[in-house]
Amino acid sequence: MSLEKAKKHLEKFGLSDRIRIAKESTATVALAAKAFDCEEKKIAKTLSFMLPSGPILVLAVGDARIDNAKFKHTFAAKAKMIKPEECEQIIGHAPGGVCPFG
């Protein structure tokens, strides 16, 4: 389902031919880096957080970690990740799926 959403979005810009599908699992940054034979910092990851005002997505390089103090300063709330079992319902994508964008 997530892959189809990404394809449809990229088709609008003539970019659907750029999608690369791995034969191996890409559910984690480490697995994705291995599948595409690159460093973890070359993988983009989306982190899903819940704020009092609603969900937000933070796009980061694969080897980045969230700085809790900076997060709190920026969003005026403690960094609280959305539970994996709630991700698909709240943001429309399961954890480890296609990076939500667009």
Tens of pLDDT, residues 6-28: 888 889 999 988 888 889 988 88
Segment holding 59, helix H or strand E: strand 54-61
Q: How many helices (H) and strands (E) does the chain have?
A: 4, 2
- Burial code (b: 16+ CB inside 10 Å, e: under 16) for 82-101 equals beeeebeeebebebbbbebe
CATH classification of the domain holding 23: 3.90.960.10
Residue 10 resides in a domain: yes
Whether residue 64 lies inside any domain: the answer is yes
- pLDDT of res. 19: 85
Residue 43 forms part of a structural domain: yes
Collect all residues with Cβ–Cβ distance below 8 Å to 48 and sequence separation of at least 6. Answer: 55, 56, 57, 81, 82, 87, 90, 91, 95
The reported pTM is 0.78
- Each residue of 66-101: pLDDT tens digit? 999 999 999 999 999 999 899 889 988 778 776 666
